[in-house]
Amino acid sequence: MLRWRAAFRFPTHEPGAVGKLLHAGCWLLVCPPVGWLMALGYRREVALNLVEGRMPLLPAWSGLHWSALGHGLRAVGVILAYFTPFLILYWSLAISQPGDLVARWREIGLFFLCLPVFLLVTMPGLLIGYPTWHPWMDFSVAEVVVLSVVFAGTTFIIPAAFMQVSLYRRFRAALRVDRVIRLIVAAPGLYLEAWSISLVALAIAVLCGPLLPWGLVWSYLVIGFAFNQALVLSGLPGVEERFRNSMLLRDAAIAKSG
């Protein structure tokens, strides 16, 4: 079992951690697209600190903004790469004949322009909203079921892709689908438990109401901790060596001891 309390508490246990969360949440409040990218990039920095055993776990924001933004853009690139097969399927079913690609190029182009702005909102919003706004996108019940299954499956494996970044320190490692699948198969129970922690953390963030931006930043860090903890406990070759300086090895030993 994973250590739920450690996952939920670690983003705020260090001196100054609350101020760092407040800073990130302010960016998300003032400019959600940029703030979301920074939150993704900041999570990557925190995850690498967890892996390397560097302190403080939550780095100071001074001089980190451009780096966090760049890492956030790379993270979005990974997410979009994984969703590319789904998007191809989505538009293959939405377009009834090849001529519609030319006739509907404005609607299709607008979809892809809006999509990466704030994926947390735009992807589900566009996937549901576009067929509502454009009656020519007439999906059958069977097609909706297929799209839902593919979307859910893609979403399910993406955290395992980012776990590869923790192992190899490079975003392109997240695109090794064979390693991603191997990781999930090696520890399905731990992976599902990490997903459970993630869903609870996101639910808490949503229930924060007007404090949602700060709740989301906190939840992202909780999610990163949970999946990296699952990675440590997975027993995959090379993981323990990669995490040899990490506090997560200590937490793993506590978890294994019951």
Q: Which pLDDT score, from 0 to 100, does residue 75 have?
A: 94
Q: Which pLDDT score, from 0 to 100, does residue 142 have?
A: 94
Cα–Cα–Cα angle for 58, 187, 242, rounded to 5 degrees = 45
| pLDDT for 256 beyond 60 | no
Question: 80-112 burial by CB neighbour count: b if 16+ within 10 A, else e?
Answer: ebbbeebbeebbebbbeeeebeeebeeebeebe
253 pLDDT tier (thresholds 50, 70, 90):
low
Q: Which pLDDT score, from 0 to 100, does residue 150 have?
A: 96
CA separation for the pair 175, 78 (Å, rounded) = 7
pTM, full prediction: 0.89
Taken as a whole, the chain contains a residue count of 258
Tell me if 201 sits within 8 A of 207, measured CB to CB.
no
pLDDT digits (tens, 9 = 90+) for 39-96: 999 999 998 888 888 888 899 999 899 999 999 999 999 999 999 999 999 999 988 7
The C-alpha R_g of the chain, in whole angstroms, comes to 19
pLDDT digits (tens, 9 = 90+) for 96-119: 777 777 778 888 898 999 888 888
Q: How far apart are the first and last CA of the chain?
A: 8
The dihedral sign for the CA sequence 28, 32, 34, 36: positive
| pLDDT for 257 beyond 60 | no
pLDDT above 90 covers a percentage of the chain that reads: 52
CA 21 to chain CA centroid, Å, is 17
Tally of domains within the chain: 1
15 pLDDT tier (thresholds 50, 70, 90):
confident
Domain around 200: 4-256
Tell me if 238 sits within 8 A of 186, measured CB to CB.
no
